[in-house]
Amino acid sequence: MDLSARIVAVRKSLGLSQEKFGEMVNMSQRSVAAWESGDRTPSFATLSALADQLGVTVDWLLGRTDVKTDTKKQPAVQDGELLDHIVMRLRDLPDPALSRVSDFLQGLQAGQEIAKEAQAHQDPAGEPAE
């Protein structure tokens, strides 16, 4: 898959029109259309910013690897937009994957409850209370 196809794939996975995608990455709809048709290629600076904004690697966008994300980086999402970003990504998941996400969230909540209980049973110095 080449750059133009990967840009289309990411945009569609987010459920965005070219116009909305352009707004998200601070580019015009015409620029997005030109990238997707292969008529133009984003500059390196734009490509780097695009990868950061989408939470993917530049190498993946360029088709140099099939590893889509760098596990050390998180998508650049503005404050207050994280929930919307997550919901957009969940929309395209099939039911079995949604079930796994739900199980994961339940595990996270259980872990937080265990951590709160453990913290409540420690004295101010951080030692377990007896």
Distance of CA 57 to the CA centre of its chain: 11
* Arithmetic mean of pLDDT, 95-119: 83
DSSP-assigned states of every residue in 17-29: -HHHHHHHTT--H
Paired tokens of 124: 């101010």
Indicate the Cα dihedral angle 79, 84, 86, 88, nearest 10°: -140
Q: Is the pLDDT of residue 28 over 90?
A: yes
Opening angle at CA 9, ends 91 and 66, nearest 5: 110
**What pLDDT, on a 0 to 100 scale, did the predictor assign at position 34?**
96
pLDDT value of residue 4: 93
- Is the CATH code 1.10.260.40 the one for domain 3-75? yes
How much is the average pLDDT of 71-77? Answer: 52
Q: What is the pLDDT of residue 97?
A: 83
pLDDT band, very low/low/confident/very high, at 54 (cuts 50, 70, 90): confident
How many residues comprise the chain? 130
Does residue 9 have a pLDDT over 70?
yes
**Which pTM was predicted?**
0.52
Q: Which structure tokens are listed for 4?
A: 């133009």
Strand-pair partners of 39: none
